[in-house]
Chain A
Amino acid sequence: MKNALAKIGLLLLSLGVALAVGEIVLRGLGYEYQPLQISAANGSDARDYHLFSDDNFVYDPQLIWRPKRGHGVFNSLGFRGPEVGPRNGKIRIATIGDSNTLGWADADGANWPADLAELLTTADIDAEVINAGVWGYSSHQGVPRTREVLELDPDIVLISFGSNDAHQVLRSDAEFSARSLGSRRLELVVQRLRVAQLVTAALDRMNPAGFEPRQRVSQDEYRRNLKTMIDEVRQAGATPVLLTRPFYGPVLDASGWKSRGPEYNLLTTRVAEEQGVLVIDLYSFFKEMDPLFADESHFTDAGHRWAAALVLEHLRPSLAVL
């Protein structure tokens, strides 16, 4: 028995030494491989940052990254805006989307959902707005995020995706969440250990199809995701509204997301038509309005305010019914 234990111990020790030697040799050779293959085909992948470096998020197997509750701009439920209390007869509006929905990072950073809340108050409409946008989110993450926000029983859910979906990467969001290790810590270890990188590289080599650049969310999946969100919002008794994703400026890189952005926006309007859902075409409205953008795809403070005003005008008929 003792002998057997000693043997196992020796085995583990030699395994450890072998791994350590392997690690040292690989580091000495300067070997490196992105174990999760989430690096973008061109430039860096924002997912990498949000998942491993962004202090605002924790790992989540479904959402990939989830807002830390009560941290930064997020309230105790992981949404932006005041703490959510009892309804008290108020109309409850939820917004789901990416960085342009969540808004700027500082505590009072502009975001159109907050401006919408203010405009509703000014217009004497008793309503509140829950901002469930998340930096870097695609529609793939939008689906589980919608389920979260539906637990708060909103009346209207505004859905805005299409820019992160169009980003070109080596692993789509669906593939990424399918192969994730289930723990951020484990992912981090794997990302840092060269031996683990080597194993992942060997696995990837066996599946070469995974190296073709593709969109984070394919157009087919985007359509399906929108449809799923619409269905689930409706099943929960709320009204879904789709927004096209605004951005401006010339397309300089044919493989960049902006070259595909209009196709995703077109899909948004098509799905809305097919499903009989109200669509607010912010893209068409803002595409010639550079002064309202801080960069190619994010509103300035004034842009957020303007967008909120447009959204309110389009929502007025629905609000009157509620």
Chain B
Amino acid sequence: MRKELSSQSLLRQAKIGILVVLALAAATVLLVETESALEASGESEDPRLVLSEALAVGDQTLAASALEAGADPSWAIVDAARREDVESLRWLFERGAAAAGRPGTRALLWALRSEDPELAAMVREHGGELDATDPAGVTLLMSMAAAPTKQKRAYHILSALLDAGADVNARSRAGRTALMLAVKADRMRVIRRLLEAGAEVDARDQDGWTPLILAARDGRSRTVAKLLEAGADSNAVSDSGWTALMWAAWHGHVPVVERLLAAGADPNRSSYAGGTALIRAVQAGRPRVVAQLIAAGADRGERFAGLDATEWARLSGRRYLFGVLRRLSTS
């Protein structure tokens, strides 16, 4: 009897338990639903969106009431530029809206993409700044210069920016120019266009790197040739004591070394930060570059940290360079 009772009470407790769990689950679902419903209703009531959507469907009465209700027009300006909607833009600007700050830059970007000169002119006239920067000091021109090749419109926008008078030598906070960013992104067509537009070929970033040093380090032989042709200083030294030739030698970029030497890079220039290009080539184990440098007159006896090239070869465990060092210097 007691046993039955206890099993009955167990069953009852289990039922209560299940009911409590179900009630909790229902309450949770209800809460989540209400919140998302609230969020959704909140979104549709954002006056900025109302303004933007009203203009998109051509309802100027609704748009006007949204503006009167104090809606910030910057979203609507960006959205209208994206839709290439000249009429809505004009309507907004007539009512005192301005394409200022970052939204203005975004609107200008869309306008430039559109290939409609009137659109870009209108955005610029109403505050869209050509040389506005993001917090890192990057201008629109710089971001277009650094864009990957697959962004086909980037070149077109960059060109439009230059035509409109964007500052080709503006600097980011790190001291980088559009040309440096194009070199890093390996965009030959952009590099050519920037140079034509007067980009400073020997600009130095905050670490003293020039476009040529950047290109040489990354082994961009064609870019190196282009920059040298544009008059880049082949012996420029960064703050850490590296020249373009030293970087190319270190990484074993044979064609770059060849172009730099042909353009007059000094194979015997030395710095506190690692000695000559020859010592660096030995250090990194680059036999072809070692041969190139010696053929170009590099002095095998130059010392860094008390050691010459042969001693560095020994210390670095690169005895295979002994042959090339000896043979070439005696021939």
Contact = CB atoms under 8 A, between A and B. Distances in A.
A308 B240 CA distance: 16
B235 to A, nearest CB: 20
A300 B317 contact: yes
Given A122-B306, A302-B316, A306-B305, A292 B283 contact: yes
B304 interface: yes
A200 B307 CA distance: 56
B315 interface: yes
B312 interface: yes
A309 B283 contact: no
Of the four ranges (under 10, 10 to 19, 20 to 34, 35 or more), the interface on chain B belongs to 10 to 19
Interface string B103-115: 0000000000000
B interface: dominant SS: loop
A284 B241 CA distance: 13
A interface: dominant SS: helix
Given A285-B240, A291-B283, A300-B316, A308 B305 contact: yes
Contacts of B261: none
A259 to B, nearest CB: 23
A125 to B, nearest CB: 13
B233 to A, nearest CB: 22
Given A285-B240, A285-B273, A309-B305, A301 B315 contact: yes
A62 to B, nearest CB: 36
A300 B313 CA distance: 13
A115 B283 contact: no
A285 B239 CA distance: 11
Contacts of B304: 309
B226 to A, nearest CB: 24
A312 B284 CA distance: 22
A151 to B, nearest CB: 31
B306 A302 contact: no
A118 B305 CA distance: 9
Contact of B284 (A115, A291, A310): A291
Contacts of B250: 289
Contact of A119 (B285, B305, B316): B305
Interface in B289-316: 304-307, 312, 315-316
B274 interface: yes
Interface string A278-304: 000000110001011000000011100
B273 A118 contact: no
Interface residues of A, number: 19
Nearest to A290: B284
Contacts of B315: 301-302, 305
Contacts of A313: 272-273
Nearest to A118: B306
B277 to A, nearest CB: 15
Interface string A112-123: 000100110010
A291 B305 contact: no
Interface in B136-187: none
Contact of B305 (A115, A284, A289): A115
Nearest to B217: A288
Given A119-B305, A291-B316, A302 B283 contact: yes
B307 to A, nearest CB: 7
A118 B304 CA distance: 13
Nearest to B207: A284
Which of B274, B305, B317 has the largest count of A CB atoms less than 10 A from its CB? B305
A224 B171 CA distance: 37
Nearest to B303: A122
Contacts of A310: 272-273
Which of A305, A306, A312 has the largest count of B CB atoms less than 10 A from its CB? A306
A123 to B, nearest CB: 9
Interface in A6-23: none
A53 to B, nearest CB: 29
A315 to B, nearest CB: 12
Nearest to A312: B305
B40 to A, nearest CB: 36
Interface in A102-143: 115, 118-119, 122
A301 B316 contact: yes
Contact of A306 (B240, B274, B285, B317): B274
B273 A305 contact: no
A302 B103 CA distance: 53
A119 B306 contact: yes
B285 A302 contact: no
B287 to A, nearest CB: 13
Contacts of A285: 240, 273
Which of B240, B250, B312, B315 has the largest count of A CB atoms less than 10 A from its CB? B315
A312 B274 CA distance: 12
A306 B240 CA distance: 14
Given A119-B306, A285-B240, A302 B312 contact: yes
A302 B274 CA distance: 11
A309 B307 CA distance: 11
A309 B312 contact: no
Which of A285, A291, A301, A308 has the largest count of B CB atoms less than 10 A from its CB? A291
Interface string B84-112: 00000000000000000000000000000
Nearest to B271: A313
A243 to B, nearest CB: 15
B244 to A, nearest CB: 15
Interface of B: 240, 250, 272-274, 283-285, 304-307, 312, 315-317
Given A291-B284, A291-B316, 19 more contacts: A118-B306, A119-B305, A284-B240, A289-B250, A289-B284, A292-B283, A300-B316, A301-B316, A301-B317, A302-B283, A302-B312, A302-B315, A302-B316, A302-B317, A306-B274, A306-B305, A309-B272, A309-B274, A309-B305
For the complex of A and B, the 3 pairs showing the least CB-CB separation, nearest first, are: A309-B305, A302-B316, A313-B272
6 contacts: A119-B305, A122-B306, A284-B240, A306-B274, A309-B305, A310-B272
